[in-house]
Amino acid sequence: MTRRVQKLMLTDHHCHILPGIDDGSDSVDTSLQMIKTMKEQGVERIVATSHFYAHREKSVSSFIEKRKNAYDKLVQADPANKDILLGAEVAVEHGISRLEGIENLRIADTKYILLEFQYTSFAPWMLEEVNDIAYEYGLTPILAHIHRYLEYYSRSEIEEVLRAEAVLQFNNEAFESFKEKRFVKSLIKEGYPYVFGSDSHNMRSRKPNWDVLQKKAKPDVIDGVADIFE
């Protein structure tokens, strides 16, 4: 499993910063404002994780082409944006592990793929899909905003999810909720590998919030993220 090291590059592992591709940034201007804010908050590396819903997309390849077009617009607006890493927030659906090209939605050239469970009651098939992706393609799942499922899953179901060989991704805003913060801190204490993300979508209701994390979380918690780029 990925080891944790201190003083890593501050990285947003989960955000919807590419323009016009999902319910995130609606324009290049919005994307540039989000990037500027992130940099002011100390973020040095950004992973763009646009939503991927298999039932809405024609194919993985068509999604990748659409994602590239959005990325190219940002690079044209500011060449510095070429350093943005491309990934996807892949919704766990029936049969997702057998979807042609699913492995191409991993983050850049790493072995990690960001997966999002559905906001419904837990079902064993969800975890089976996650495990099949890991086994069939040699990928390590990153489970998006695991703390959000406290409202939907029982304690035993959460424990079942945590048995997956995965990295846990926490949203920065978890530290603004007493319940979610306590849950996240307990997972960190237990030694689960983890990363942080803003899950920012815009500059209004879901804007970059690294200031929140740096205010609410201790430095050793921020520095203790899993280095998925080593």
Give the three-class secondary structure for 160: helix
Segments of 19-157 assigned E as strands? 45-52, 85-91, 112-116, 140-143
Asked whether residue 29 carries a pLDDT value surpassing 50, the answer given is: yes
Per-residue model confidence as pLDDT tens digits over 36-49: 999 999 999 999 99
Separation CA 61–CA 41 (nearest Å): 34
Separation CA 15–CA 199 (nearest Å): 4
Question: Vertex 209, ends 8 and 220: CA angle to 5°?
Answer: 35
Looking at residue 230, what is its pLDDT? 80
Q: List, in order of start, the domains of the chain with CATH numbers.
A: 11-217 (3.20.20.140)
Predicted TM-score of the model (pTM): 0.95
Asked whether residue 59 carries a pLDDT value surpassing 50, the answer given is: yes
Per-residue model confidence as pLDDT tens digits over 173-215: 999 999 999 999 999 999 999 999 999 999 999 999 999 999 9
Separation CA 205–CA 125 (nearest Å): 33
The predicted model gives 147-151 an average pLDDT of 95
Looking at residue 170, what is its pLDDT? 98
Is the C-alpha dihedral spanning 222, 225, 229, 230 positive or negative? positive
Asked whether residue 1 carries a pLDDT value surpassing 50, the answer given is: no
Q: Which residue in 214, 225, 226, 207 sits closest to 38, CA to CA? A: 207
